[in-house]
Amino acid sequence: MAAALLLAVFALLAQFEALFSEQQLRIGAVFRKEQDAHLVAAFNYSLHWLHNRNILLSDGIPEREAVFGIVTGFMEILEDSEDYYELLEKACRLINERNVHALVGPAHLHQSELLADLSAKLRLPFFSLVDPLAHHFLNPSDGNLVRENASTATAAEAEAVHLEMFPHTQLLEAIIDLVKYWRWSRVIVIYRQPERIRRLIVFLESDSLASIRFNLVNIEHDDFLGAAKRVKELEECGEMTNRQQQGQCSEFSRLLLDMDPHDTHQFLLAALKVGLVELKHWFLSTSLDLRNMDMELFRHNHAHFLGLDPVNSNPTADQNAHVPSLSVHHQRLLPDFDEFKQYIHAHATARDPSAGSDGLKMSEAAFLFDSVYLLSRTFASGANNSARNLLFSSGPTTAARCASGQHAHRPFEFGIQIARQVKQYANTLHGFTGKLGRLNHDGANSNFTFRINLLGYTGEIDDIGYWEGSAATPILNVSDASRAQLRRNVKVSNELKPRFRVTTILERPYVMLRTTSNDNGGGTDTGRNGHEQQNAKFEGFCIDLLAELAQDLGFTYTIHVVQDNKYGKDNGNNSWDGMIGELLRGEADMVMAPFTANFRRAEVLDFTKPFLSLGISVLYRIPEDYQPDIFSFLNPLSLEIWLCILLSICGITFGMYLVANVTPYEWNLNFSCCTAHQPHPAAQFSTVGAGGDKASTTTRIQLSNNYSFWNTLW
């Protein structure tokens, strides 16, 4: 009896377990192992958060009013990211063995299209997370963007089950409106995939954009540096001789980067090397992850980096409150986005360390969360009974099946109806990426909003406004504080520019003291600050050159004359005086003067290219007026040279005198000029008396040397 009762209890529990498993929404996902690490983390986070959320809400909300449906996720990982056969095999494994009700594809365009085609044949709802790069054209009746679609019944069924989370139509509309707003007339488009060129068809078809001149630069064979050099050549306008064309060439500093985050970051690194990342350049990125890119190297170059962000970091506070269908119990249903972002970053970098630098696509992770979130909200008990009846009435005989052997594909019987229910419920729902009504593609409920991000002079990524698309007229709202910075001919405020201390030396005509009181030919200095008044004291060729450089490069400066009025020379022990000494001691940041570059100076400081070359000529300096004196004849040579000449004369005199006294040929007889060289000075002679007798004594002949010291000096 007890055994029979125990068997009955186990049978009842098995029935409840089977019933409970049938009430679960099963979603399958196929991801690449390393490239989709952020999607794997987002998928796991979504399922865990929904599970924990259901537990927390189970006590406060009745079952008939449950906010979230029970979602079970199944995931397959591709070992070879380029193996398309493995992709289809693992997708069919999820469909045949797990009986999934919906499918999510990887963040790869062609692989996502392959799974979308399979889902269309099986009538299985499919969530796409990537930009489809579809061709759009302008509707002649209202001027709105319309996506090019086929008119066949198969294409209509594919459109019915295809759920595109990426706001590609809204992205293109926002780019067009931003280009109009900033009045760009010439744009350089940087791209890598040839499919992205189809976006330009919309620009060419629009009458309001017909005046825009496009230059295309394709990145071939991962040569980002070569592409950056080609952009630099376009801006230099070396082939343009017309002055008007040269003036128009300066407007080529507007770049549209139509690439994914990784390629965008690589191109910016190459642009930094060739000098493109500076004040006058604007970079508008079609990637939705500018805020998540590593922009540390570009923060302080004063270039404009603009991007669109579909994620509102605090959607529950200002968006869910505007949804009329949500009750007071359903407020603040989304998780904290910062917590979500930290989770994705930690788990994605653990699987792929390179994902955290320039390849972490947080927008795709947010799209995946919204996909799971939308399914759970659509099939929650009490929220959409018709959708639940369609979903949970499907059994093994109505589920989708991939072709195997002699059996063909078996479509999901209620797949199209379920996809329609999801799109219908999306009209009243908000996720991380804003309003989910964009899934309908009808324009009536697709009031999608992009946040406009700017990395500008402050070095921080700021939220400067928003773009909102609608069926009527899109809304572009830029904050008043940022509007002045976003105009084409804007001047940066001096407070945001770097300031340099410039040392110089008074040398006509390069640097001179201004003879008039100000540079306006009269008037007062009202409105000038102290730095401007200090700089107004000087004029000259170098002063004008410095002003042009400051205007072109975007910096301010303060000029002062060097204290010791010297250019700079080495005093020994690495000690320099003059302007070089002020640079080395940190008393100045820059020298602007007629400064000669030599090897010794180049060892301690950096020179620019010579700004003035006079060719082969002789320059004479005008001497200063002074009264001559008795020693003026000594002025052509320095005191050191005169001392050396005197010492050399004394040395030569002493040497010649010494030689003249040593040699025997300078000693002569003193008694006769006729016998001046005879006899030899060493000979001895005897004197003879009057009687012919020899003298009793012998005396030495006296010799003399006329080469005296004073004669030698003379």
Q: Sorting pLDDT into bands at 50, 70 and 90, what band is 364?
A: very high
Among 199-208, 264-273, 654-663, the minimum mean pLDDT is found in: 199-208
Average pLDDT, the chain: 76
In 3D, which of 597, 708, 577, 593 has the Cα closest to residue 653?
708
CATH superfamily entry for domain 19-137+145-165+325-429: Response regulator (3.40.50.2300)
Left (φ > 0), alpha (ψ -120 to 50) or beta: where does 394 sit?
A: beta
Find the DSSP H helices in 574-702: 578-584, 599-602, 639-662
C-beta separation of 268 from 277 below 8 A: yes
Residue 308 CA: distances (Å) to CA of 41, 196, 285, 707: 23, 17, 8, 102
The CA distance from 38 to 36, in Å, is: 5
More confident residue, 548 or 489: 548
Residue 428, Cα to own-chain centre: how many angstroms?
38
C-beta separation of 252 from 186 below 8 A: yes
pLDDT at 283 over 90: yes
Task: Count CB atoms within 10 A of the CB of residue 663.
Answer: 11
SS3 273: helix
Q: Sorting pLDDT into bands at 50, 70 and 90, what band is 301?
A: confident
More confident residue, 313 or 296: 296
C-beta separation of 190 from 267 below 8 A: yes
pLDDT at 119 over 60: yes
Average pLDDT, integer, range 96-101: 89
Task: Count CB atoms within 10 A of the CB of residue 385.
Answer: 11
More confident residue, 430 or 135: 430
Q: What is the pLDDT of residue 309?
A: 92
Q: Under CATH, to which class is 497-602 assigned?
A: alpha beta
More confident residue, 3 or 629: 629
Give the number of C-alpha atoms closer than 13 A to the C-alpha of residue 646, restricted to the C-beta side: 8
Sign of torsion over alpha carbons 283, 286, 290, 295: negative
Q: Where in the chain is the domain with CATH 3.40.50.2300?
A: 19-137+145-165+325-429, 168-309+457-494
C-beta separation of 411 from 397 below 8 A: no
pLDDT at 472 over 70: no
Dihedral of the CA atoms 436, 442, 443, 449 (nearest 10)?
A: 20
Residue 276: its H or E element: none
Task: Count CB atoms within 10 A of the CB of residue 686.
Answer: 10
Q: What is the DSSP string of 421-435?
A: HHHHHHTT-EETTEE
Q: Sorting pLDDT into bands at 50, 70 and 90, what band is 39?
A: very high
Sign of torsion over alpha carbons 648, 649, 655, 658: negative
Residue 29 identity:
A
The CA distance from 634 to 332, in Å, is: 94
Dihedral of the CA atoms 212, 215, 220, 223 (nearest 10)?
A: -110
Give the rounded percent of residues in the chain with a pLDDT score beyond 90.
Answer: 18
* Matching CATH number, 168-309+457-494, of 3.40.50.10680, 3.40.50.300, 3.30.70.20, 3.40.50.2300: 3.40.50.2300
In 3D, which of 214, 207, 205, 217 has the Cα closest to residue 185?
214
The CA distance from 551 to 556, in Å, is: 8
Q: Where in the chain is the domain with CATH 3.40.190.10?
A: 497-602
Average pLDDT, integer, range 504-514: 89
- Its pTM stands at 0.66
Q: Sorting pLDDT into bands at 50, 70 and 90, what band is 555?
A: confident
pLDDT at 13 over 60: no
Residue 279 identity:
L
Q: What is the pLDDT of residue 224?
A: 94
The CA distance from 538 to 3, in Å, is: 108
**Which residue bears the tokens 């928003």?**
466
In sequence order, the 6+-apart residues with CB closer than 8 A to the CB of 379 are: 25, 69, 387, 388, 391
Residue 238, Cα to own-chain centre: how many angstroms?
26
What six digits make up the tokens of 544?
């004008």
Beta bridge partners, 214, equal 187
Q: What is the pLDDT of residue 199?
A: 75
pLDDT in tens, 431-468: 898 888 888 765 444 678 899 988 866 667 888 888 88
Average pLDDT, integer, range 143-172: 70
In 3D, which of 471, 462, 463 has the Cα closest to residue 435?
471
In 3D, which of 70, 68, 66 has the Cα closest to residue 382?
66
Q: What is the pLDDT of residue 284?
A: 93
